[in-house]
Amino acid sequence: LKKGYFPGIEGPEIRKVAMRIAMIGAGYVGLVSGACFAEFGMEVTCIDKDLPKIDKLQRGEIPIYEPGLDDIVKRQLGAGRLK
């Protein structure tokens, strides 16, 4: 992270700041991107108008096919970084 991005926070302290991201859409782009951001340690909330899809995701069921995505999503849901 570049200096000045978080005013008043510099040096090693900057690594303690959690980035929070909202992904609009939990499909091929939003879910994959959100899961990857969460894997990098960011807090991600996926938002989608398709409520059955969100219910499935909360149960760890992946509505699309992307190799390895199911493991990443389950791991990040469990870690609380993906919502």
**pLDDT digit string, tens, across residues 15-43:** 555 689 999 999 999 999 999 999 988 99
CB distance 40 to 9 below 8 Å: no
| Confidence label for 12 from pLDDT (cuts 50, 70 and 90) | low
Q: Name 21's bridge partners.
A: 44
Report the predicted TM-score, pTM, of the whole model to 2 decimal places.
0.75
Question: In which residue are the tokens 């040096």 written?
Answer: 11
Q: How many CA atoms lie within 13 A of 19 on its CB side?
A: 13
Angle at which helices 69-79 and 51-58 cross, to 10°:
80
Q: What is the pLDDT of residue 68?
A: 93
| Distance in angstroms between the alpha carbons of the first and the last residue of the chain | 24
